[in-house]
Amino acid sequence: MGKSDLKILAIIPARGGSKSVPRKNIRELNGKPLIAYTIEAAKKIKCPTLNILGEYVDKFIVIEAKHTHSGNDKKLNFEINNFKKFKNKIIYKVIENQPKGIIEINKDDDPGIQSAKKRMNSLKRIELSYDTALDCLIEANPEDLFIFNDSDEIPNLEKVNFDQINNKILIFKQKMFYYKFNLYYDLIPWFGTRICAIKRLITPTWLRYVKAKKYPLWRLDIVFSKTRYNSVKIIENGGWHFSNLKTPEDIEKKMLNFGHHNEFEVSNISLEKIKEMIREKKVNYDHLADKNQLQKYKKEGYELKKIDFSELPSYLIKNFETYKKWFDN
pTM of the model: 0.80
* Residue 176 and residue 75 in contact, taking contact as beta carbons nearer than 8 Å: no
Provide the pLDDT for residue 137. 84
DSSP strand pairing (239-243 vs 169-178): parallel
Q: Is 141 exposed, middle or buried (0-12, 13-18, 19+ CB in 10 A)?
A: middle
Q: What count of residues does the chain have?
A: 329
Give CA–CA dist 258/53, Å, rounded.
26
Alpha carbon 282 to its chain centroid, in Å, reads 22
For the chain, give the mean pLDDT: 79
Distance CA 237, CA 62 (A): 27
Quick one: pLDDT at residue 91? 80
Q: For residue 1, what pLDDT band results from cuts at 50, 70 and 90?
A: very low
Average pLDDT over residues 236-251: 90
Rounded average pLDDT over 201-212 = 94
Per-residue pLDDT of 130-189, as tens digits, reads 999 888 888 888 888 888 888 789 999 888 888 888 778 999 999 999 999 999 999 888
CA 265 to chain centroid, in Å, comes to 22
140 in Cβ contact with 29 (< 8 Å): yes
- DSSP output for 272-328: HHHHHHHHTTEEEE-TTS-TT-S--EEEEEEEPEE--GGGS-HHHHHTHHHHGGGS-
Q: For residues 86 and 90, give the distance between their C-alpha atoms in angstroms, rounded to a whole number.
A: 7
Q: b or e along 298-309 (b: 16 or more beta carbons within 10 Å of the residue's beta carbon)? A: eeebbebeebee
Q: Give residue-wise pLDDT tens across range 254-268.
A: 776 655 555 555 556
Q: Is the backbone of residue 301 left (phi > 0), alpha (psi -120 to 50) or beta?
A: beta
Distance CA 111, CA 103 (A): 15
- Is residue 234's pLDDT more than 50? yes
DSSP 110: -
